Amino acid sequence: MTNNNKSKIENQKSKIVLVFAILVLVFSAPSCRDFLDIVPDNVLQYEDFFASHQQAHTALATLYTMLPGDNRGLFWSLGDEYAITADFIFRMRGNMPGLSIMLGRQSPTAPLLDYWNGGILRAPYNVGAWIIIRECDKFILNIDRVPDMDYEMKADWKAQAKFLKAYYMFMLVQMYGPIVIPEYFDENGDIIDEPFLHRRKVDDCFDYIIALMDEAIPYLKPKRDRMYLGQPDQVAAKAIKARVLLVRASPFFNGNHEYYHNFRDHNDEHFFSQTPDLEKWKAAADAAEEALIAAKQYGFDLHRFKGVPYAFDNDAFDENPQNMQTLYDLLFRITERWNEEIIWGWVRGAETMGEAATICKPVGLPGPSQTTRGIGWIQATYQAMERYYTKNGLPLNEDKTVNMSTLHEIVTTPEEIDDEYKAMWGIMQPRVETINMYMNREPRFYSDLGITGGYYRAHQLRIPTMMFQGLNGGFSADAHGTNNPPTGIAIQKIVHPESYPQSAQTLKLYPNPIIRVADLYLMKAEALNEYYGPEHPGVLESINEVRRRAGIPDVEEAYGANSEWVTDEARNKHLDQIGMREIILRERANEFAFESAHRFWDMQRWKLSVNEFSRPLLGWDYRGASARSFFVLRNFQPRQWSVTECLWPINEIEMSHNVNLIQNPGW
């Protein structure tokens, strides 16, 4: 916050107004047409937003501007999961800030993903979080003035504003560490400007955020009606509160003497606590349990596919029903709109990461016409592919049935008539060349990725992918000869099987899952393990819920003393707190791969990001026209990450406006 906040806010009003139209997918009542009709022009005064229910509805829509949507290349490209071809980067130009950060291009003179000040991207990201936080406060102050709304609706809308304010502040803390806590109201309840605010200690920031969420939760709707999905309800708010408490308890924010023992405020006091507080883990565990109870009460659960399989998979369901059911459970866990697992999600406009991830429909296959859009510019890295478990629910290097020295050896899949092929129907193609590494992996591996020898469901088709140059999914395999896949490992998870990106109308959009039920289970497991240790029964109960839906053995079956699969070095790993922690973090990496940079933030909060994100990204040689020339591992892209980059820099312009701000270390 700066001394010229007032003028900045006034300058941003017209920008904020312009983004209302793209918020329609969440606010579907009144109708889309009615909603667009009430967008005010630039001469409307702020007070007019509260002259009626309709105008207040528009003001409420403003507050959702900074939610993390599924737009290409924002927070999603942080970390080491996405490989983005140079051609796509060139086409998007400045619109890949997450990738640029990972390439070491962050600076205080021109911060990237500048959530503090704004200017992240085009609308709605050209306003900073503090601008929207200010709008939340204005809304809270004014909503009671609306004449044609009842008390219950006003209370709910005010609670939404409080919750969103807290959520935006939480996102700021994740990125910047200590933030300011603006107090905008004088003794008469009027908004005032507070120039030259100081950054507050991290614990104070978390306390403020949690208290604000606690104020909001009782007044939110217990569960949203379907037409209002996207607006937080009590279940969503409790789930996000559990996430906030989990982050607060994690080593980055809880006793981080290693990184920030010299990071002090003007009173020479530490911004970060210097000694860990174990009780923070108990608070996180209790909050996750409370959120799970609320979620189950209102019908939320891990997603199971209950529909009719696509005709192109009828043969696979006939031959391989159990494995195909698991594949479909996983395939639709985020792409089926507002399924029972999505506690809170957000859709913004017609953009989706799936558009850039979808492979082109190969020449000669039936279905929708050819398109030059959505041609696999965004793919998975070798690192993301490697992390998935074997079919035994173990990492490759902890499964003794895996020969690590022959992972890249070329093999041929069985024929349809072979008994061993029965479990592969619909998952791997018969009698094709692939590699050992792609065989006998967990179901999420096959549901989330498009691999050589597997299948890719898109364009209303089941595409037998080979990924070699000129073949299905590979380089120059489309009708236009423009397909330029960077690693030869496609991403299926974020692409709906019916989606083909010929136009906005042919894309199957779905809410960006901000939080879903699987997250609550794994948060609970993690917090219980850190507070009580792995012997607490809730640890295994929680993580095994997610593993069972994923079609892999329970932790104790995979790692236990009688396991036929685990290596001697990893046997009984789950009985040790550190070992169980590693298992939970790997489970999170696999379950939330390619979703909203989950892995990036997990590595950050556990102080593992410097090690994990300082390695070059790897991929196959996508120009290879045969298995021998394709399965050659190469450095795809460098990566750079240091302790300095763990906290975002505050823009130097902001620093010059407020002399009381202290810059983050290293910048």
According to DSSP, the β-strands at 455-458 and 461-464 are: antiparallel
Beta strands in 395-518 (DSSP E): 410-412, 433-435, 449-450, 455-458, 461-464, 490-491, 512-516
pTM of the model: 0.91
How many CB atoms sit inside 10 A of residue 134's CB?
A: 22
pLDDT in tens, 144-162: 999 999 999 999 999 999 9
Check: CB of residue 501 under 8 Å from CB of residue 377.
Answer: no
Token pair for residue 581?
């922690």
Q: Phi, psi (5° rounding) for residue 274?
A: -100, -15
Q: Which helix (H) or strand (E) holds 591?
A: helix 577-591
pLDDT in tens, 363-414: 788 877 665 555 677 899 999 999 999 999 999 999 999 999 999 999 999 9
Residue owning tokens 């104070």 = 204
Residue 625 pLDDT greater than 90, yes or no: yes
DSSP class per residue in 523-534 = HHHHHHHHHT-T
pLDDT in tens, 487-512: 999 999 999 999 887 666 677 888 88
Residue 434 CA from chain centroid, whole number:
30
Give the ranges where 606-651 is alpha helix by DSSP (H): 609-612, 627-630
Residue owning tokens 């998952």 = 427
| For range 95-109, the mean pLDDT | 87
Check: CB of residue 262 under 8 Å from CB of residue 665.
Answer: yes
DSSP 270: B
Which pLDDT belongs to residue 561? 97
CA proximity to 13, closest of 39, 33, 35, 31:
39
640 vs 484, residue with greater confidence: 640
Query: Any idea of the CA torsion for 381, 386, 387, 389, to the nearest 10 degrees?
Result: 140
pLDDT in tens, 5-43: 443 434 444 344 434 433 433 333 332 222 222 233 344
Structural domains of the chain ordered from first start:
1-67+106-220 (1.25.40), 311-340+348-510 (no CATH)
| For range 430-447, the mean pLDDT | 98
| For range 570-583, the mean pLDDT | 98
CA proximity to 547, closest of 423, 432, 443, 415:
443
